[in-house]
Structure 1
Amino acid sequence: MRRLAVVMAVLALTGCGSDVEVAHKAVADQLANPKSAKFTNVRVTDQGNVCGQVKGKDAAGVYGGYQSYAAIKSDSQFKVVFDPDGTNAEIRTLCGGAPVSEEAYADPGQAVGSWDVQIVSGSNMGALSDMTARLIERGFIPSVVARDGEQRVLIGPFADKAQADDKKAQLMSSMGIESVVVKHRE
């Protein structure tokens, strides 16, 4: 009992008013039902911004999908920017997401099997084996390839860009996983 009291006291002292808590309150306040906010992949940048994904219940009490956010620190307050579809360049710059290259959105009339969904690699991805296991549990079939000297987690290839975009949206909505659509390479 005494150990529990000590742990609770330490948690109360260290957690009060932390930047992450203040940022999460600012993010949650922007949702239709702030008390229902669920956060994942939360990270704090060197500039003190708080980034991650959030989902919440709508007015009818139904959870929507995850969307990326950046809580931009200004003095002791946070300005919140949402990125529901993963294309906001400001959030990618602030949070260190993978850049969306011109190559990624080339001619949509390419041959069959010309698009992949690439999982954004970063501090929130964790071990490749953990990421691929989580994807498989949710019905996504990943592959790990070496590209540009790094291991990449891909889903695909897809016959057209629209299919890849749909899979990218499913990843964010169901698991809060950031990804980009890229041209398929053999």
Structure 2
Amino acid sequence: MDFSMWFRVFTIGTAVAALAGCDVTKEMAVEKGKDMVASALKDPDSAKFQGVFMAENQAIGDTHYGFLCGEVNSRNSFGGFTGFRRFVANFNYSKQGSFEVSYVTLEEGVNAKINSNGASYFQDIYWLGKCEPKPAPKKIEQISADLPITKTAAAESKKTTKPNTMKTAPTAVPGGAKWAVQVASMSDASQAASLQEKITVGGFTSYVTTKEGKTRVYVGPFADRAKAEGQVEELRTKQLLKGFVVRVEQ
């Protein structure tokens, strides 16, 4: 289905800035991100923002990745303000002062198409899951008829309802391997598991480690550094992930 009539999607380049004397904070990065989003509008100088924030989903080294979310109002081709509309953009920044904004998606405001659930397509496709967590699916309660339970059936029920006490063992690092590519460090173990699954489906060998409340996702391990460095470029082109080579902790 073609959504081009409902959203404006555009890409702007990478801007690099150096803020002398201090590390870049998330608040500083958001302010820079607003300037970069404004630069892609019809009248950048007229842009007014409200409720802008970064929804971070991972950090690799000193670089933080996620989405820039908020509302923007600016003048159109006729010189009038369009009214505040939500936007979502891919966003990353590093503490060293580099920033990148791409794939900015702007809601069409009063012209936004509404789906059968009463929500805009922008809300369902772009906003939820990136800027706000998706709502949990409604539980369907199963109603069963009250049937008499025989002694045999009760005994079988006890046999089949024993709790599963099996625990999943952590992924082991093969002996002799010295190098790996770290692609993420997350505090949310479920997000780390999802990323590992995505990497594995893409044809890479992946494992995770957990230490001090952080789950780190790796590709590898490898016996020599050259093989690990070769995977960095493949991860960038095939998975759009920025990794770096590390020595394996045995």
Q: Which has the larger radius of gyration?
A: 2
Q: Which has the higher helix share?
A: 1
When normalised by structure 1's length, the TM-score is 0.44
